[in-house]
Amino acid sequence: MKAVLTTGFGGREVLKLGEAATPKPTERQTLIRVMATSINRPDLVQREGKYPPPPGDSEILGLEVSGIIEELGAGVTGWKAGDRVISLVGGGGYAEYAVAYSDHLIPIPDSMTFEEAACVCESYITAFLNIFLIGEFRDGQTALLHGGGGGVNTAGIQLCRALTPGCKLIVTTSPEKMDRVRALGADQLINFKETPDFTDLVKAFTNKRGVDLILDHVGAKYLAPNMNSLAYQGRLVVIGVTSGIKAELNLALMMVKRQAIIGSVLRSRPVAEKGEIVAQFAQRVLPRFADRTIVPRIEKVFPMDQVADAHRMMEEDRHFGKIVLRIGGA
């Protein structure tokens, strides 16, 4: 099969289109003929040698796929060859075929294209998990979402608007993306390039109360302003550490305000646990894709042989929403 291979660890130059062995589905797995996948920030980190796949998963990049079931492994029920599906995968998305556990599969609504479907799993399930299941965000509450133009946070804005329409959303973003973030549903925008300490703006918007939830992928640089921006019993969910892993924490403030800091990743969770998350997501969110209440924002679709250009777009932060890699027919 054709696949995007890495000739080593490093920059975009290590990405090469080549041939790899077609994977075989084992028990409870399916073989998917991949039509599209998406570019995610962890792909770039893995390419650099800093984020290896979980044991047993493919070393080929790619954390989500949309496509057509080609073959069923032993013990798989409820699915058949020819079904259109999307799935989380531990690796292997940048290839013509990938294997996925059957309880990680979600049917693609008739109203969605393969390119749109390729945007769902990594960004929308990550946002759903951390905002609603872990962050316990409820209607009427206020959230601060960092990085409003990225895949997870554009997904987060859409999910909040669909599932908690009475909430308030504060979003940090670059000045170039403010208009699109506002159109997506943000109530208050903060230009993070001009305001690295956003505490005063958050307090002003919330009448000094602070926010109930913060979804953060920045890490160390934002720890102090994040904690200062949280309300009593507020939750900070950390899903990335792009600015570093070490920072000072005022434990007394956290104790007095009964705040919680929660670290979260999706990829390394046990197979069964991911299956439970996928099931809850499919029940609560899939109908919103089917009726087009939620439509994934796609910046650009690249053919498979232009994967280096797709990685460049993400590295240079020139995207709003998702960058898609078309596999089928490549």
Question: Which CATH number goes with the domain that contains 130?
Answer: 3.40.50.720
Write the CATH number for 106: 3.90.180.10
Please report the pLDDT score of residue 136 as a whole number.
Answer: 98
Judgement on whether residues 181 and 240 belong to the same structural domain of the protein: yes
Residue 175, classified by CB atoms within 10 Å of its CB into exposed (0-12), middle (13-18) or buried (19+), is exposed
Nearest to 104 by CA among 275, 273, 271, 268: 275
Phi, psi angles (nearest 5°) of residue 320: -125, 115
For strand 97-101 and strand 105-107, is the pairing parallel, antiparallel, or unpaired?
unpaired
Asked if the model's pLDDT at residue 97 lies above 80, the reply is yes
Domain-terminating residue out of 214, 240, 263: 263
Instruction: Please report the pLDDT score of residue 171 as a whole number.
Output: 97
- DSSP calls for 208-265: T--EEEEEESS-GGGHHHHHHHEEEEEEEEE---TT-S-----HHHHHHTT-EEEE--
Same domain, 148 and 258: yes
For residues 141 and 195, membership in a common domain is answered with: yes
Q: How would residue 330 be classed by pLDDT, with cut points 50, 70 and 90?
A: very low
Statement to judge: residues 132 and 27 lie in one domain = no
Say which amino acid occupies 101.
Y
Q: What mean pLDDT is predicted for residues 244-259?
A: 95
Residues 128 and 222 in one domain: yes
Domain shared by 250 and 321, yes or no: no
- The pLDDT mean for the chain works out to 96
- Which pLDDT band holds residue 329 (cuts at 50, 70, 90)? low
138 & 96 share domain: no
Can you tell me the mean pLDDT for 281-307?
97
Is the pTM here over 0.75, yes or no?
yes
Angle between helices 271-290 and 151-163 (to 10 degrees): 60
Q: Given the DSSP bridges, would you call strands 211-216 and 142-146 parallel, antiparallel or unpaired?
A: parallel
The per-residue pLDDT for 294 is 97
- C-beta of residue 214 within 8 angstroms of C-beta of residue 143: yes
Domain boundary among 238, 263, 288: 263
- Reply yes or no on whether the pLDDT at 223 is more than 50: yes
CA proximity to 296, closest of 286, 284, 305: 286
Q: Are 61 and 41 in contact (CB under 8 A)?
A: no
Question: Within this chain, do residues 103 and 143 fall inside the same structural domain, yes or no?
Answer: no
pLDDT value of position 148: 81
129 and 259 share one domain: yes
Same domain flag for 249 and 154: yes
Q: What is the pLDDT of residue 186?
A: 97
86: nearest Cα among 100, 106, 104, 103: 106
Query: Which of residues 221, 244, 263 is at a domain's end?
Result: 263
DSSP state of 175: G
Q: Look at the chain and report how many structural domains it folds into.
A: 2
Burial of 22 (0-12, 13-18, 19+ CB in 10 A): middle
- Across the chain, the runs of DSSP E, i.e. the strands, are 2-6, 15-19, 29-39, 64-72, 84-88, 97-101, 105-107, 142-146, 168-173, 188-191, 211-216, 230-238, 260-263, 298-303, 322-326
Burial of 47 (0-12, 13-18, 19+ CB in 10 A): buried
Q: Are residues 152 and 254 in the same domain?
A: yes
- Domain of residue 42, residue span: 2-119+267-326
Percent of the chain with pLDDT over 90: 95
Q: Report how far residue 229's alpha carbon sits from residue 242's, in angstroms, rounded to the nearest whole number.
A: 20
245 and 271 co-located in one domain: no
The C-alpha atoms of residue 66 and residue 32 are separated, in whole angstroms, by: 8
